[in-house]
């Protein structure tokens, strides 16, 4: 399913719980503010001239500068970037970070490019974007197939084009010695741990009140998945299966995460680790477990496999891993799901911390970063759960108001109950962005 349609559908379903919002404002909040597409050539290390396509989308900046990752992937589309940018708007609002949403990327296959080629692509793409990005307007960060090294190239390119000022805040996820923040690399994974731990302690899953001893299945072993595996194992969880693009491995007694990491580093895949059982990639999501953490790419939990998901709880480490049809099926089966805009917000929270440190010429130690991150994530869980309770109490009035709303424009005709955590997180986010938009006033 088209990721932008998924994002729009999620928004439409959640906006039903906000019938008092003006229809025009709702439509405005759905749409990206700006979409930039550039075509640019580079001279590859092999001597060929190759043209690449890049996108940068600014979805909303009512609450602050746009913020969002930069990904390199051969299947990248403009609609995917639009969806990711909108999710960043809602993610920042849920985490109460003063940023808006943005996203970008280049359609390329890093596996077929040299380091020099990737550097040229990055520098040319950033130069083509020009002042579309900036410390106070739109701030990139690492994403799929980009890392600290890529962000160093982004910073240096922008700094060369804008000399004589502090340009460190133009990008986050930089190397520590170029203004990067302690804890940024594992921030998304650590945030997922904080969110899961807090949600369980508040009774989200009956009979499961701690990650300690919980059986975990993780899809993906990139930056997010590998850090999730390590951090959950350190917290006492049992990682019973891990998968990547080539397949999956399982061990009921729990995988040795360091051994998995070493094997992945040598072989380029988790598959084949001695002493483990190989599992088909599509079967991974259906394994019985306490917590399933999809931390790879979008659209993995769908209508066709949702009836067979074997987890008691789903925590979205990736962006957009669950389609609306799968959402409905999981809710009907009584399987709670912690949505991406809450679960994986740790990355943008620590990106915000890096931006603050760069702006104010400060350096925080790891203990301070992690302490501030935990406080933010715990507060976000608390607020989303409270929002869900408030929606449930207001349902009679919401149903009555929707009767009038349907006379003015179409409204998705799906049950309002159960009120999912995704719906609650979206309602919280939409409300925060809408309130700021109205307080600022619709210009001119």
Spatial neighbors of 420 by CB under 8 A, at least 6 apart, are 327, 331, 336, 337, 339, 388
- What CA–CA distance (Å, rounded) separates 410 from 280? 42
Its sign, for the CA torsion 164, 166, 169, 172, is positive
* CB burial string 3-33: b at 16+ within 10 A, e below: bbebbbbbbbbbbbbbbebeeebbeebbebb
Active site residue 67: no
Q: For the beta carbon of residue 252, count every other beta carbon within 10 angstroms.
A: 12
Could you tell me the two tokens for 219? 């899809």
Phi and psi at residue 70, to the nearest 5°: -125, 115
- Say which of 67, 91, 103, 376 is annotated catalytic: 103
Q: Are 373 and 380 in contact (CB under 8 A)?
A: no
Could you tell me the two tokens for 324? 């609306």
Scan for tokens 């550097």, then name that residue: 119
SS3 category, 106 = strand
**CA torsion angle 272 274 275 281 (round to 10):** -10
Could you tell me the two tokens for 316? 């979205």
**Active-site residue list:** 103
């Amino acid at each position: 399913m088209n990721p932008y349609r998924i994002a729009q559908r999620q928004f439409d379903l959640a906006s039903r719980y906000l019938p008092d919002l003006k229809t025009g404002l709702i439509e405005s909040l759905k749409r990206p503010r700006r979409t930039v597409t550039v075509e640019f050539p580079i001279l590859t290390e092999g001597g060929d001239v190759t043209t690449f396509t890049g996108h940068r989308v600014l979805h909303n900046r009512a609450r602050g500068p746009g913020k969002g990752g930069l990904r390199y992937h051969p299947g990248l589309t403009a609609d995917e970037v639009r969806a990711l940018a909108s999710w960043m708007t809602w993610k920042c609002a849920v985490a109460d970070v003063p940023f808006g949403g943005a996203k970008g990327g280049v359609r390329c296959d890093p596996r077929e490019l040299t380091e020099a080629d990737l550097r040229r692509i990055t520098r040319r793409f950033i130069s083509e974007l020009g002042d579309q990005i900036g410390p106070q307007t739109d701030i990139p960060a690492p994403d799929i197939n980009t890392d600290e090294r890529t962000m160093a190239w982004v910073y240096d390119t922008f700094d060369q084009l804008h000399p004589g000022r502090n340009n460190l805040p133009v990008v986050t996820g930089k190397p520590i010695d170029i203004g990067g923040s302690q804890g940024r690399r594992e921030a998304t994974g650590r945030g997922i741990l904080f969110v899961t731990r807090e949600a369980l302690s508040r009774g989200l899953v009956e009979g499961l009140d701690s990650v300690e001893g919980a059986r975990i299945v993780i899809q993906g072993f990139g930056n997010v998945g590998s850090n999730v595996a390590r951090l959950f194992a350190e917290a006492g969880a049992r990682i019973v299966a891990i998968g990547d693009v080539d397949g999956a491995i399982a061990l009921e007694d729990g995988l040795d995460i360091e051994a998995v990491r070493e094997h992945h580093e040598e072989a380029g895949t988790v598959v084949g680790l001695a002493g483990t059982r190989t599992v088909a990639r599509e079967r991974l999501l259906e394994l019985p477990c306490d917590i399933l953490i999809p931390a790879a790419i979008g659209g993995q939990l769908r209508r066709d496999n949702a009836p067979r998901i074997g987890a008691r709880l789903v925590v979205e480490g990736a962006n957009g891993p669950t389609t609306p049809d799968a959402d409905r099926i999981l809710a009907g089966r009584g399987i709670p799901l912690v949505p991406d805009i809450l679960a994986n917000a740790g990355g943008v929270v620590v990106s915000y911390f890096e931006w603050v440190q760069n702006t104010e010429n400060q350096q925080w130690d790891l203990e301070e970063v992690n302490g501030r991150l935990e406080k933010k994530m715990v507060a976000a869980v608390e607020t989303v759960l409270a929002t869900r309770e408030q929606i449930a109490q207001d349902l009679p009035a919401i149903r009555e108001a929707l009767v009038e709303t349907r006379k003015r424009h179409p409204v998705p005709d799906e049950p309002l109950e159960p009120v999912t955590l995704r719906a609650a997180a979206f309602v919280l986010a939409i409300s925060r962005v809408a309130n700021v938009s109205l307080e600022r006033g619709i210009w001119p």
